[in-house]
A and B are shown apart, each in its own frame.
Chain A
Amino acid sequence: MLKPLDASAAPATANGVMTPHFATVTKRVREIPDVVTLEVPSNGVAFQPGQFNMLYAAGVGEVPISMSGDPARQDVFVHTIRDVGAVSRALTEIKRNGVVGVRGPFGTGWPVEQAKGKDVLIVAGGIGLAPLRPVIYALINQREAFGRIALIYGARSPEDLLFPKQLAAWNAIPGFQVEVTVDHATREWRGNVGFVTSLLGEADVDPDETIAMLCGPEIMMQFTAGVLADRGIGADQVYVSMERSMKCALGFCGHCQWGPAFVCRDGPVYSFDKIGPMMAIREL
């Protein structure tokens, strides 16, 4: 017999716990037609920007979803979810006061400490802006600890841009440059059209003193890392967030094994000099 969902139990942690904690959705925002942001209580559990939770839609399944909220807020987990499959669709359909299973946080984070004293270049593609938003909050929260910040964001069309009000607000912060481009647009759009790499030259950062963080489709990250290398930002200065079929999130089940690594445990954030060569191996 199924137990009733208990939203008051403590959240699961990465200590080997496989049972989700059931949490009540306290806020739900439809960002764009196929993307929804859910907030659930975190019960004081902290997370690092770049980490993810396993979210469980009752009776449907469980998927890894990156944190997309401010890491300084320890009262909630914020998840921005795109409807791309059965589980993610079920998650996006959960209403406010609905219940979602949560395990986590899991995985490695963006290199916030290593970026201190340096310029930071963030390159996001599509839904990839969501996993990068926590690190953007972290940079803003400690603005004086970093040099110039540039965010280059590419989306499919102007209608697919995530967090447009925040993009404008970030661009208004001194030393924080936001450049947005889309793949195609109608005449109402007065901004850039083209691939993200076409805007990398606009980023006002010092290549020698820059940490770059990329999140988006794998081919976009590979291509962007190559262009960054041409511009003097080496693979050891570039970090990417990988996506593989994560199931247990603890490195036990092997679903996300990628060569010698388990993406759920050793990633999802990797230094590009460590995994760039693996990305080139098609058999993996």
Chain B
Amino acid sequence: MKEMADILRQHPFVEGLDDGVVDFIAGCARNVVFQANQMILKQGDSADWFYLIRRGAVALEMYAPGKGPITFLTVRDGEILGSTWLLPPYRWTYDARAIEVTRAIAFDAECLREKCEADHHVGYEMMKRFLPPLIERLQSARMQSLDLYGAQAS
């Protein structure tokens, strides 16, 4: 597990996190690689894993009938992929597909949820790390939903 903890420490997600906490959560983590175009998450599936992207790019997509998959966000090096593992019903609300070869740290969501329950300090640290990007993405999504650059918006 030490090796995994060291890899984890290189990711901005754990910046400022106590060594003990990093070691504790590293037990739920493993290294993964996704090939270009490989599906990582599928809308409606159980949110059993989430990912910290080490290197690569992932498209978050929604499938629109008659239009096919539409990318609404890309996440890249140093970012988090997946947040619905945190709260019931633990289901993905979009698809995620690797745009290029992507290396990530995968977390077993159930394992981490159990650790968050067992030690609320860990749970609080997780919340502090998940909320800022969630709020940032919410604000971005709000801007995107306004269709600011569309003809009617001018």
Residues of A within 8 A of B (CB): 34, 82-84, 125-127, 154-156, 160, 183-187, 189-195, 197-198, 216-217, 219-220, 223
Give the residues in chain B near A219, CB-CB below 8 Å.
Answer: 143, 146, 148
Residues of B within 8 A of A (CB): 57, 59-61, 68-74, 76, 97, 99-100, 136-137, 139-140, 143-144, 146-151, 153-154
Are A156 and B150 closer than 8 Å at their CB atoms?
yes
* A184-B72, A186-B69, A220-B148 known; A127 vs B143 contact (CB < 8 Å): no
Give the residues in chain B near A197, CB-CB below 8 Å.
Answer: 136, 139-140, 143
Chain B's nearest CB lies how many Å from the CB of A158?
10
Are A186 and B68 closer than 8 Å at their CB atoms?
yes
Are A223 and B143 closer than 8 Å at their CB atoms?
yes
Are B72 and A160 closer than 8 Å at their CB atoms?
no
Are B151 and A84 closer than 8 Å at their CB atoms?
yes
Are B143 and A195 closer than 8 Å at their CB atoms?
yes
Bound together, the chains give a CA A160 to CA B149 distance in angstroms of 9
Are A193 and B74 closer than 8 Å at their CB atoms?
yes
Interface of B is mostly: mixed
Chain A's nearest CB lies how many Å from the CB of B91?
22
Residue of A nearest to B100 (CB): A190
Give the residues in chain B near A190, CB-CB below 8 Å.
Answer: 57, 99-100
Chain B's nearest CB lies how many Å from the CB of A256?
16
Residue of B nearest to A220 (CB): B148
Give the residues in chain B near A189, CB-CB below 8 Å.
Answer: 71
Chain A's nearest CB lies how many Å from the CB of B56?
12
Bound together, the chains give a CA A112 to CA B148 distance in angstroms of 27
Give the residues in chain B near A183, CB-CB below 8 Å.
Answer: 72, 144, 147, 149
Are B149 and A126 closer than 8 Å at their CB atoms?
yes
A-B contact pairs, 7 of them (CB 8 A): A155-B149, A183-B144, A183-B147, A184-B72, A186-B69, A192-B74, A217-B153
* A193-B74, A217-B149 known; A187 vs B69 contact (CB < 8 Å): yes
Are A187 and B71 closer than 8 Å at their CB atoms?
yes
Bound together, the chains give a CA A190 to CA B71 distance in angstroms of 10
Query: Which among B69, B70, B140, B147 is the interface contact of A194 at CB below 8 angstroms?
Result: B140
